[in-house]
Structure 1
Amino acid sequence: MMNVRVAQESDLAELAELFHQSVLSTAPQRYTPEQTVAWASTATDADRFRQLILQPTTYVVVDNTGILGFAGIAADGHIASTYVRSDRIRQGLGSTLMQVILDHASRNGIQRLYAEASEFSLGLFKKFGFYLYDTEIVERQGVQFKRYLVKRHQNQIHTQVTTEV
């Protein structure tokens, strides 16, 4: 049985470990070793990671094994994060989290959603009606990354996605 709830400060250590392990296990498929290390290190910067989780509204999916994934959305519609535990990738949790984010936006009257997607999350965003409008290069710890800028307007017609979890 899975539950979805808002992340709490007491979740930060578990979320940082989930983030770190998720990046280390998936990033090497599409990113260089230097990019992987720089990306994963976000979890070791306690202040930065705390802001990533607690400044937006971050939802977590939990079961009896712990937190399975998380996704955050800011009041301005910025989707700050979408991560799934490395042993649960490709099991519908990303879709579950995205639907939670879309429901949050709808309840709160957020009309425009936007994000900076990675190579891994771009497909998830497209699945939920986001479209790619640009790319950008950012630098983290002296390492450059290409990110995909995506957005979606809530009033656009979209197909309801159902998932089995």
Structure 2
Amino acid sequence: MSVTIRAYHPDDARTLYSIFSEAIHKGTVAHYSAAQRQAWAPSADMPDWWPDSLAKLETWVAEAGGEIAGFMCATPQGYVDFTYVRPRWMGRSVAQALYDITLERARGRNLTRLTTHASLMARPFFARQGWQVDEMEIVDRNGEQLKRFAMSLTLDASHEQTL
């Protein structure tokens, strides 16, 4: 199975919101309650602010099997803001391909550190890439408490991950 990565296009916004919603409501069932998932992604309808939010970030789109399978977004300063993969594509190298291009771009900007707030679902993926948990956090989303992790990765000058 081949995964192709390309830059975000504004026409992708609705599909990426659908992936965001599906990844939360179906992909995180083992980690978050139905009430927590509903609070995290309360509507299946794309909010008006969504396209602008994606356009302000460096957003990468993964295509596999003839469809958009996932996406990852980061700020120029190295904060990985969104990482979502369709549940049927989880565990099939989509997140890895997205991560690889995001890491390559960060190194190209000579960043020395990447950060994120990872869900219970995303934490193991980032840990396998050498990221460390800096702090466990509880955040309020629409009246529900969700556990997440402030994580970081230090990039050394030789462009190798430090573990």
**What is the TM-score normalised by the length of structure 1?**
0.87
User: In the comparison of the two structures, how many residue pairs are matched?
Assistant: 159
Pair 1:88 & 2:78 matched: no
Query: What's 2:111 paired with?
Result: 110
Query: What's 2:149 paired with?
Result: 148
Cα distance in 2 between the residues matched to 1:113 and 1:44: 31
Query: What's 1:65 paired with?
Result: 66
Give the secondary-structure state (helix, strand or coil) at the position aligned to 1:26: coil
Cα distance in 1 between the residues matched to 2:117 and 2:109: 21
Please, which runs of 5 or more residues in structure 1 have no aligned partner?
160-165
**What is the TM-score normalised by the length of structure 2?**
0.88
Cα distance in 1 between the residues matched to 2:45 and 2:130: 33
Q: Which amino acid counterpart does residue 111 of structure 1 have in structure 2?
A: T
Q: Are the equivalent residues in 2 in contact too, given 1:136–1:149 (CA < 8 A)?
A: yes
Q: Are the equivalent residues in 1 in contact too, given 2:153–2:161 (CA < 8 A)?
A: no
Alignment identity in percent? Answer: 25
Please, which runs of 5 or more residues in structure 2 have no aligned partner?
none
Q: CA deviation at 1:43?
A: 6.0
Give the secondary-structure state (helix, strand or coil) at the position aligned to 2:29: helix
Q: Are the equivalent residues in 2 in contact too, given 1:22–1:84 (CA < 8 A)?
A: yes
Indicate how the Cα distance of structure 1 residues 65 and 18 shifts in structure 2: closer, same or farther if over 3 A, else same. Answer: same
Give the secondary-structure state (helix, strand or coil) at the position aligned to 1:41: coil
